Amino acid sequence: MLNHKLLTFLICLLCGLNTALAQFGFSHEVGLISGPIAFQSDYGERKNWNTNTGNSGVGVGLIHYINFSYRADCNCYTTDTFFNDHFKIRNEVSWNKTTLNHLGPESKKTSMESLKLRSMQGEANNLNIGTQLEFYPLSIRDFSAGAFSFAPYGSIGAQFTYYNPKVKSSLPGGIENEDNIFYEFTDGAINTTSGTTWSVVGSVGTRYKLTVLSDLLIDLRWQYFFSNWTDGLNHEHNIQDKANDWLVWFNIGYVYYLD
């Protein structure tokens, strides 16, 4: 069950930070993002093309920026410093969902164990809240003034994740019947209990100026979870399982500048 008190605390913490920064006169931007996700987990085989392309889902999010280059209280530019003209803080609440299958070569064999793999299906559901620091090599002021149409950026940050995975089998008796489980996922390697973890995120992307007060956003993100349970599977006793779950998210968004 979702820890509502913890999630509420984190949202209030972000809102409190935003309010504090707003008192210094910084301006704000809000937006929406959405796009496909490739989820890398204990399903399939790592570095396998079918797994990389087949275990895909979708993500959506609400984003908020603190823009240090402009003061909302006086409708004027801030002090011209390198930080003010090249950095923004991005706050975000996002959700992603991915259907997971065993798509590697092992699942295509005719053995009973391969049938167990093909019959297993999972679902990753993740709710994220966090902050990133974005760096723009080009001048944020010049981009806002229309000096150029594109503003590329890179970012790094952290997110708190609530995960709620699902695992099932189409064989008679379902996943509750241990005889239906592939041997590597026995002995406690399946756990669909909801939980929380931290993750690190990194992005590269660009903005495209649509109007004076709006931008198109194109972003490619990598997110690494500090847990191997976000998909409901964890066979870390297997020497081949060397990494926690992670995903790549390509998203397109719309950003609006608040007065």
Confidence (pLDDT) at 214: 96
Confidence (pLDDT) at 78: 72
Task: Tell me the average pLDDT of the chain.
Answer: 86
Confidence (pLDDT) at 24: 56
Q: What is the CATH number of the domain that holds 158?
A: 2.40.160.20
Note the pLDDT tens digit of each residue in 204-213.
999 999 999 9
- Assess whether pLDDT exceeds 80 at residue 231: yes
Percentage of residues in the chain with pLDDT exceeding 90?
Answer: 59
| pTM to 2 decimal places | 0.85
SS3 of the chain: the string is CCCHHHHHHHHHHHHHHHHHHHCCCEEEEEEEEEEEEEEECCCCCCCCHHHHHHCEEEEEEEEEEEEEEEECCCCEECCCCHHHHHEEEEEEEEEEEEEEECCCHHHHCCCHHHHHHHHEEEEEEEEEEEEEEEECCCCHHHHHCCCCCEEEEEEEEEEEEEECCEEEECCCCHHHCHHHCCHHHCCCCECCCCEEEEEEEEEEEEEEEEECCEEEEEEEEEEEECCCCCCCECCCCCCCCCCCCEEEEEEEEEEEECC
Least confident of 89-98, 162-171, 181-190: 181-190
- Please report which confidence band the pLDDT of residue 149 belongs to, taking 50, 70 and 90 as the band edges: very high
Domain that holds residue 98: 4-257
- Please report which confidence band the pLDDT of residue 1 belongs to, taking 50, 70 and 90 as the band edges: very low
User: How many domains, in total, are found in the chain?
Assistant: 1
- Please report which confidence band the pLDDT of residue 194 belongs to, taking 50, 70 and 90 as the band edges: very high
- Assess whether pLDDT exceeds 60 at residue 10: no
